């Protein structure tokens, strides 16, 4: 049976979180940012001084850490074992570590289980890399959100500037490309477009335009299923 869920997948910097949060607010759905969950694990790994090569310890940590996410006044907040890690999980060290951490099968198993539990609680918008393919294959609307790599790098650069960092645009673009390559080539739930996903290239589009398109896709799909 189809699930009342919107799955938004796509490469890094495609604007998934911004758009997914707004779609959720508009429809009154709960927003689940799965990238934030992997980031929370990576942040705990770094804080605990665990080597990125120590797969057993990382797997153990992923199984016992308590992650909570909530959206308050349009802002996503993330907790790991009761501590607010919202800001910390966006720092460059976590961003550099998260892709290796997310490739560990035991980490993915733990996170996919948690994501499915959260999604079973009601109507949801979930964004990530493997939502339409693996986490929620029965989601009634699936979107594969992308944009040109130059535009994605430009958006990331802008975001980081606003947070007070001094990023180099070329380095950012290389990092995005490397993260996409690793996410697409990994064995377990790689980044690929689900067969029944709608491809949305947002290059040159305004955020609200993208949000409206997704809400319309959802309404068409759900009325066809209800
Ligand atoms: O979406 P965001 O850039 O915050 O995700 C951080 C990283 O987490 C991604 O680069 C990817 O390696 C990993 N990720 C994943 N599967 C998801 C969501 C994120 O592997 N569903």
Q: What is the CATH number of domain 1-29+123-226?
A: 3.40.50.300
198 phi and psi angles, rounded to 5 deg: -90, 125
Residue nearest to atom 4 of ligand 1 (CA): 35
**Residue 144 CA, ligand 1 centroid: distance in Å:** 14
Atom of ligand 1 nearest to the CA of 9: 21
Question: Domain 34-121 in CATH: superfamily?
Answer: P-loop containing nucleotide triphosphate hydrolases (3.40.50.300)
Q: What's the start-to-end Cα distance of the chain, in Å?
A: 10
3-state secondary structure of 28: coil
Number of Cα atoms under 13 Å in the Cβ half of residue 98: 24
Q: Is the pLDDT of residue 226 over 70?
A: no
Q: Where are the alpha helices (DSSP H) in the chain?
A: 16-27, 34-47, 55-64, 92-102, 105-119, 149-162, 169-185, 207-225
Q: What is the pLDDT of residues 92-111, one digit of tens each?
A: 899 999 999 999 999 999 99
In the prediction, which pLDDT does 163 show?
Answer: 83
Domains 1-29+123-226 and 34-121 share a fold: yes
What is d(CA 201, CA 14) in angstroms, rounded to the nearest whole number? 9
**Residue 111 CA, ligand 1 centroid: distance in Å:** 11
Q: What is the pLDDT of residues 164-220, one digit of tens each?
A: 888 999 999 999 999 999 999 998 899 999 999 999 999 999 999 999 999 999 999
∠ Cα 14 188 196 (to 5°): 55
Question: What's the per-residue H, E or C state across 41-106?
Answer: HHHHHHHCCCCCCCHHHHHHHHHHCCEEEEEECCEEEEEECCEECCCHHHCHHHHHHHHHHHCCHH
Residue nearest to atom 10 of ligand 1 (CA): 99
Query: Beta strand 139-146 with 30-33: parallel, antiparallel or unpaired?
Result: unpaired
**Domain ranges (residues) in the chain:** 1-29+123-226, 34-121
**Residue 10 CA, ligand 1 centroid: distance in Å:** 9
Mean local confidence (pLDDT), 76-80: 96
Q: Is the pLDDT of residue 223 over 80?
A: no
């Amino acid at each position: 049976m189809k699930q009342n869920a919107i799955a938004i997948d796509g490469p890094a910097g495609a604007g998934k979180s911004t758009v997914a949060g707004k779609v959720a607010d508009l429809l009154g759905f709960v927003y689940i940012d799965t990238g934030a969950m992997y980031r929370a694990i990576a942040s705990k790994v770094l804080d605990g001084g665990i080597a990125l090569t120590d797969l057993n310890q990382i797997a153990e940590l992923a199984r016992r850490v308590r992650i909570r996410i909530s959206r308050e006044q349009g802002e996503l907040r993330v907790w790991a074992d009761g501590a607010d890690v919202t800001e910390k999980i966006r720092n460059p060290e976590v961003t550099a570590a998260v892709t290796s951490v997310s490739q560990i099968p035991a980490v993915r198993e733990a996170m996919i289980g948690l994501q499915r539990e959260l999604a079973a609680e009601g109507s949801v918008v979930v964004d990530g890399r493997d939502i339409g393919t693996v986490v929620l294959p029965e989601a009634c609307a699936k979107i594969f959100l992308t944009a040109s790599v130059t535009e994605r790098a430009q958006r990331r650069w802008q975001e980081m500037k606003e947070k007070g960092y001094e990023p180099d645009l070329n380095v950012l673009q290389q990092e995005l490309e490397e993260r996409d390559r690793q996410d697409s080539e990994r064995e377990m739930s790689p980044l690929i477009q689900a067969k029944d996903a709608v491809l949305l290239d947002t290059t040159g589009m305004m955020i609200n335009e993208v949000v409206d398109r997704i809400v319309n896709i959802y309404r068409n799909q759900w009325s066809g299923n209800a």
